[in-house]
Amino acid sequence: MATSTSHRALSGSRHSPKRHSQSGMDINSPPCQKPKPFTCIGRGTCGTVWEVPESNIVYKTGKDAAALAHDLNLCRNVHAAFLRYQRVVDKEFGGAIKLPLVPAGHEFHRPARNDGEITRNGFWASNLHRFPAGDESSPTSHTAAISLTRIHSLPLRLRSALIDFYFDPDLFASPTSRARGAADHCLTRLYLGSNDYESWFRTFASQAPVTVHGVTQCMAAGLAVMHWGARCDGMDVEWVLGCTAQGVIKPFILDFDKAKKFDLDEEDVVKKLLGGVLGNDPYFPVEGRLHEKFVEVYLKTSKAILEEEENPKALTLSQMFVKAWHEALDRRREADAAEDDIFEHQAEAVEDSGGWNDDEIDELEGSDANSVCSSDINEVK
Ligand SMILES: Nc1ncnc2c1ncn2[C@@H]1O[C@H](COP(=O)(O)OP(=O)(O)OP(=O)(O)O)[C@@H](O)[C@H]1O
Ligand SMILES: [Mg+2]
């Protein structure tokens, strides 16, 4: 697990989406009231994400207009597939599995053509003043924007529990620093392929209505719909736990700028879909019973979708993807084992040549790390 937090306070679940239009303006505000500034709630390589106060949307802004347009299109595509195939998933699993939620993609705002346009016309002229002036990511005349449905922050009790789970207690010792930390926008990534997922779920079982098995099945069905319902490889997308506008904790999928559509041929399936599961953070379980369950639900969901579409060729491709995934995981395990062997041999060789032994290393670790400088290391060698 990992937290995906950012910079400034928010209290997402307090805001009611019904009162507001998609453009982020409060339609009930008196016309003369100055609109509130946007707050940065996330930064990445493609864009910066801004909370629009008192609305149910965020803006993602960035200089690469083509990447943002691609992000928006694919997000819309996957969102539509998830709405369409929930019915198929309900039928297949008797209503026991709910798909992750995907934010709806709303608008695209191209960069202004010149400085005159950014201050006089359209979206930028109406909204530029709401971005913080001193922020290096605040828009200029080269910036494009997309608007997406907002994923709201996890509840305060869960944010506080995340702080206890991940951080050095000294960092949040004072009530003020703790309150400030817990107030940040906070989603948590679902790393079912990491070593600490079991303790993560144990820690939060009492705080959140999510179980490791429920999340596994939800993500497995979600991956199948992403692949075979939306034909999207899922490269670099984030699988997170967040809240709906009503404050319900749910798995969500976000960020489609690096994901791609794929063709129904063997080469594309193996290359792109494997990239989506191996080249991303460790979201999916890769061994043991959890992995078996994941694959079982993934294959059942894929079959249900592809039978509905009467596409037997793609059914073979979904099985081929799972086989290729298993082979790749085996190769990775072998490579990891070989690497461990190399390290072990190197350590033995160092010891044989009179290098550090375990006691010496322990002793060194116990000493003040700052007092060990490179000349000490050269001397020991
Ligand atoms: N719809 C949303 N609602 C709430 N928060 C969001 C939303 N979209 C993105 N975020 C937050 O903003 C962060 C950055 O967004 P995103 O991952 O889309 O940016 P990016 O530039 O594509 O990042 P990367 O470099 O990882 O590809 C996310 O990790 C998440 O915390
Ligand atoms: Mg991205």
pLDDT tens-digit series, residues 171-216: 877 878 777 777 788 999 999 999 888 888 887 777 788 899 999 9
- For ligand 1, is residue 186 a contact (CB within 6 Å)? no
Which residues neighbour 172 within 8 Å (Cβ) at sequence distance 6 or greater?
A: 163, 178, 181
- For ligand 1, is residue 187 a contact (CB within 6 Å)? yes
Mean pLDDT (whole number) for 250-267: 96
Hey, which residues does 51 pair with through a beta bridge? 39, 58
pLDDT value at residue 243: 96
pLDDT value at residue 107: 97
| C-alpha span between 253 and 231 (Å, rounded) | 15
Distance 109 CA to ligand 2 centre (A): 18
Mean pLDDT (whole number) for 318-347: 85
Which residues neighbour 209 within 8 Å (Cβ) at sequence distance 6 or greater?
A: 249
pLDDT tens-digit series, residues 149-176: 999 999 988 888 888 888 888 887 787 8
Is residue 68 scored above 80 in pLDDT?
Answer: yes
Distance 141 CA to ligand 1 centre (A): 22
- For ligand 1, is residue 46 a contact (CB within 6 Å)? yes
Mapped onto helix, strand or coil, the DSSP state of residue 137 is: coil
**What ligand 1 atom has the least distance to the C-alpha of 258?**
27
More confident: 309 or 365:
309
The DSSP letter of residue 140 is: -
Distance 236 CA to ligand 2 centre (A): 7
Long-range contacts of 128-131 (CB under 8 A, 24+ apart): 130/35, 130/36, 130/37, 130/38, 131/37, 131/38, 131/50, 131/61
With 0-12 CB in 10 A as exposed, 13-18 as middle and 19+ as buried, what is 364? middle
User: Does an H or E element contain 318, and which?
Assistant: helix 312-352
Distance 148 CA to ligand 2 centre (A): 14
CATH architecture of 2-310: Orthogonal Bundle (1.10)
CA nearest ligand 1 atom 22, residue: 46
Identify the weakest region by mean pLDDT among 47-56, 136-145, 205-214: 205-214
- For ligand 1, is residue 47 a contact (CB within 6 Å)? yes
CA nearest ligand 1 atom 20, residue: 44
Task: pLDDT band for 345, please (50, 70, 90 cuts).
Answer: low
> Tokens standing for 222?
């979600």
Distance 196 CA to ligand 1 centre (A): 23
pLDDT value at residue 10: 24
With beta carbons less than 8 A apart as the criterion, state whether 20 and 162 touch: no
**What ligand 1 atom has the least distance to the C-alpha of 254?**
8
Mapped onto helix, strand or coil, the DSSP state of residue 38 is: coil
Task: pLDDT band for 364, please (50, 70, 90 cuts).
Answer: very low
Mapped onto helix, strand or coil, the DSSP state of residue 192 is: coil
pLDDT value at residue 230: 97
CA nearest ligand 1 atom 30, residue: 42
- For ligand 1, is residue 45 a contact (CB within 6 Å)? yes
